[in-house]
Chains A and B, each alone.
Chain A
Amino acid sequence: MKLLYYPGCTLKTSAKNLEKSAFCVAEALGHEMVEMKDWTCCGVASSLTDDDLMHHLAPLRNLIHVEDEGEERIVALCDMCCNTLKQTNFRVKEKPDDLETLNLFMDRENDYKGTVKVMHFLEFLRDEVGFKTLKKMVKNPLKGMKIMPYYGCMLLRPREVAIDDAEEPTIMGDLLKSLGAEVIDNPFKIECCGSYHTIEEKKLVSDRAYRITKFAIDRGADAIMLSCPLCRFNLDVRGKEAEKIYNNYKQIPVYYYSQLITVALGLDLKNCGFGDHAVDPVLLLKKKGVFENKRE
């Protein structure tokens, strides 16, 4: 099946490995991710003031371009993009007057009809592929790996656009179980990673990364799995920097879910781009003997 895909800025620059590994997973599942035409920046932070419609223009323009291609679904890989597109989609459906204003403002675009469904790739894996199907395809189970799923904010909140329960999400845990890993629970799994403060408040974000990771380590985790490119940077890179602040602290590897699926399905590791991480993710996989693991 063809999956129309919205990349966003980061997937084309500092998170190429997320894009590549997700493409590889989709292909293995018999789907083809096709990049949508004429995409623009989504605006990242959805407008939160009631009078500010201007910042809904960019996401709406993207949704219109999806309609122009005759598709009813758009799949996003970046949590932030997915959230922003969904929030705008929600707002224009809730408030038809706002949609009219936005449509009137745009000259060259067609009017938005409201037919597009925005979907996160994780949602697609859960709802359309099914983790059971995925489990059957596993070649190298992640046996012996204790992994903490980290959800962050944008998948779960605000509730209108959430893909899972805001307080007790299970989607990533279920995915990990289907790949054969042991899931380590952690109350910090739904807490903010520090987000854009990573630019101006490095110490603050390092502290956040430390708190989240330390708790996971104390509970026995030896890796973290997540989906957002900014969370990856903050936990991986700023977490590595926290080693200089906190004695005897060692940052554990951080994986995208798509990378772990790639490994578990026995697909080409070149697609994972593990070299872009601050803490070497391959070392742990080798130590745990994942590549030698066979299905029982």
Chain B
Amino acid sequence: MNKIKGKIVDENSLKLKKGELAKEVEELSGENLFGCYQCGTCSAGCPYIEEMDLTPDEVIRYLILDRKEVLNSKTIWLCSSCFTCAERCPRDINITKIMEALRQIILRKNIDKTKLTKLTKEEKEVIPQLAFVCLFRKNVG
């Protein structure tokens, strides 16, 4: 069964050769994906785990198995870089940076997650400014 329902990017159009996605993530994040021994500590402590389609350790597994549909996972956009997983990983893998690398791969193809025009006036007036700067940094290329 396919766990990933959304579609933000057509992963086949990216023309990634075998193993290239994992390599690119490793280059961007500076982390060793293959060091992960799938203990699930990252997923156990993640505050957004209930909303995620793939758990953070599954994301790493998908990357290792070269399953490019991981790029359409909700998980990478739910991660708000709270660093809990990075702090707790027994293999000292910074999963937060892996999530950022996946976001960047999409954003650098000029695909934005957040459509700026959809933000309402009410939101702009009430919500603290730093939330917007943060959202734009994470979801807009």
Residues of chain A touching chain B, judged by Cβ–Cβ distance below 8 Å, are 8-10, 13-15, 41, 43-45, 48-52, 55, 78, 80-81, 153, 157-159, 166-167, 190-192, 194-200, 204, 208, 229-230, 233, 237
Q: Which residues of A contact B66 (CB under 8 A)?
A: none
Contact A14 B80 (CB under 8 A): no
* In the assembled complex, B104 has its CB within 8 A of some CB on chain A: yes
* In the assembled complex, B101 has its CB within 8 A of some CB on chain A: yes
Q: Which residues of A contact B28 (CB under 8 A)?
A: 49-51
Q: Which residues of B contact A159 (CB under 8 A)?
A: 87
Q: Dominant SS at the B interface?
A: helix
Q: Could you say which of A15, A44, A167 contacts B137, with CB atoms under 8 Å apart?
A: A44
Contact A192 B119 (CB under 8 A): no
**20 A-B residue contacts at CB 8 Å?**
A10-B129, A45-B134, A45-B138, A49-B97, A50-B28, A50-B30, A51-B27, A157-B86, A157-B87, A158-B87, A158-B94, A192-B82, A195-B82, A195-B131, A196-B138, A198-B131, A199-B123, A229-B128, A229-B130, A230-B131
Known: A50-B27, A157-B87. 13 other contacts (CB 8 A): A14-B127, A44-B134, A45-B133, A49-B101, A50-B28, A52-B104, A153-B83, A153-B84, A158-B87, A195-B134, A196-B132, A198-B127, A199-B127
* In the assembled complex, B73 has its CB within 8 A of some CB on chain A: no
Q: Which residues of B contact A166 (CB under 8 A)?
A: 87
CB-nearest residue of chain A to B97: A48
**Cα A10 to Cα B123 with chains together (Å):** 15
Contact B135 A200 (CB under 8 A): yes
**Cα A14 to Cα B132 with chains together (Å):** 13
Q: Which residues of A contact B135 (CB under 8 A)?
A: 196, 199-200
**Cα A153 to Cα B138 with chains together (Å):** 16
State how many angstroms separate the Cβ of A46 from the closest Cβ of chain B.
8
**Cα A158 to Cα B100 with chains together (Å):** 15
Which of the four size classes fits the interface of chain B? Answer: 35 or more
Most chain-A CB neighbours within 10 Å: which of B96, B100, B132, B134? B134
Residues of chain B touching chain A, judged by Cβ–Cβ distance below 8 Å, are 27-30, 47-48, 51, 78, 80-84, 86-87, 94, 96-97, 100-101, 104, 114, 119, 123, 126-135, 137-138
Most chain-A CB neighbours within 10 Å: which of B47, B126, B130, B131? B130
State how many angstroms separate the Cβ of B83 from the closest Cβ of chain A.
4
Contact B104 A49 (CB under 8 A): yes
State how many angstroms separate the Cβ of B107 from the closest Cβ of chain A.
10
Q: Which residues of B contact A197 (CB under 8 A)?
A: 78, 80
State how many angstroms separate the Cβ of B63 from the closest Cβ of chain A.
15
Q: Which residues of B contact A52 (CB under 8 A)?
A: 104
Q: Which residues of B contact A50 (CB under 8 A)?
A: 27-30
Q: Could you say which of A13, A49, A191 contacts B100, with CB atoms under 8 Å apart?
A: A49
CB-nearest residue of chain B to A51: B28
**Cα A276 to Cα B92 with chains together (Å):** 42
CB-nearest residue of chain B to A12: B129
Q: Which residues of B contact A14 (CB under 8 A)?
A: 127-129
